[in-house]
């Protein structure tokens, strides 16, 4: 996994770094098709704990008033108990999201107030690309463009890891990709692999500046 330097002085430059087995924020590198279930369970647990803590904080902040928080963890539109991890499609789009509608009621001696709102934390990754063939037809050079968004606004990537599917069907990490940060939530990824196939299946894992992991998969065909 490669760390991305987002300072203004470094944007637009290329980075050549060998992937490390894990990063310090605790997201271990894992096969692109299998981490979803593990992270879903972990995220649901953390989400429930945080919501219960939030309700307790409101109660402690206003001890003279009656504060009631009710929230619902949706199970629709791709959400399971308020969590959506859409990582397994091959359309170049990956989504990690938490969506929780809630209602806050404040009952005071002089007034009553009701607030209906929702917590929406969504990281989206869009990946597209193509490959070219060198003089040796087994060598494929892959060029990817990745875009990262937080709640549909431009966002920064903190870590990027790339995997490709080899001829045996195994997912292999790209150990020395070239990564260019264009400074507008867009990253250019470039690497070369040896494959007999005419196309390259690719999976990109990104950790954004909020330490949220998102995964997107795509197939790179030869450029016309």
Cα–chain center distance at 142: 21
- Quick one: pLDDT at residue 40? 63
Question: Domain ranges in the chain?
Answer: 2-220
- Quick one: pLDDT at residue 8? 47
- Pairwise CA distance, residues 222 & 178, whole Å: 19
- Quick one: pLDDT at residue 167? 95
- Quick one: pLDDT at residue 16? 34
- Quick one: pLDDT at residue 23? 33
CA nearest to 146, candidates 131, 161, 166, 167: 161
CA nearest to 94, candidates 220, 190, 224, 206: 206
| HSE-up (13 A, CA, CB side) for residue 186 | 8
Residue stretches of the chain with pLDDT short of 50: 8-10, 13-35
Q: Which value, to the nearest 10 degrees, does the dihedral of the CA atoms of residues 9, 1, 98, 106 take?
A: -60
- Quick one: pLDDT at residue 1? 65
pTM of the model: 0.80
Q: Are strands 139-150 and 83-86 parallel, antiparallel or unpaired?
A: unpaired
- Quick one: pLDDT at residue 41? 64
Secondary structure (DSSP) of 132-197: EE-SSTTEEEEEEEEEEEETTEE--EEEEEEEEE-TTS-EEE-SS-EEEE-SSSEEEEEEEEE-SS
> What is the overall mean pLDDT for the chain?
83
| Distance set, CA 70 to CA 44, 51, 73, 122 (Å) | 17, 10, 10, 21
CA nearest to 191, candidates 142, 146, 158: 142
CA nearest to 101, candidates 127, 125, 75: 75
């Amino acid at each position: 996994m490669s760390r991305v330097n987002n300072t203004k002085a470094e944007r637009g430059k290329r980075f050549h770094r060998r992937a490390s087995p894990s990063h310090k924020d605790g997201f271990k590198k894992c096969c692109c098709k299998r981490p979803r279930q593990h992270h879903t369970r972990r995220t649901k647990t953390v989400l429930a704990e945080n919501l219960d803590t939030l309700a307790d904080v409101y109660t402690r902040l206003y001890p003279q008033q009656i504060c009631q928080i009710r929230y619902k963890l949706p199970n629709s539109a791709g959400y399971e108990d308020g969590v959506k991890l859409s990582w397994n499609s091959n359309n170049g789009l990956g989504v990690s999201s938490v969506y929780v509608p809630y209602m806050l009621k404040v009952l005071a001696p002089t007034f009553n107030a009701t607030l209906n709102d929702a917590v929406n934390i969504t990281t989206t990754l869009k990946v597209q690309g193509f490959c070219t063939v060198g003089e040796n037809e087994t060598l494929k050079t892959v060029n990817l463009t990745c875009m990262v968004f937080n709640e549909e606004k431009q966002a920064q990537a903190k870590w990027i890891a790339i995997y490709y599917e080899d001829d045996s069907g195994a997912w292999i990490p790209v150990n020395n990709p070239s990564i260019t940060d264009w400074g507008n939530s867009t990253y250019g990824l470039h690497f070369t692999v040896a494959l007999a196939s005419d196309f390259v299946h690719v999976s990109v894992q990104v950790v954004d500046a909020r330490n949220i992991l998102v995964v997107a998969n795509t197939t790179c065909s030869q450029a016309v």
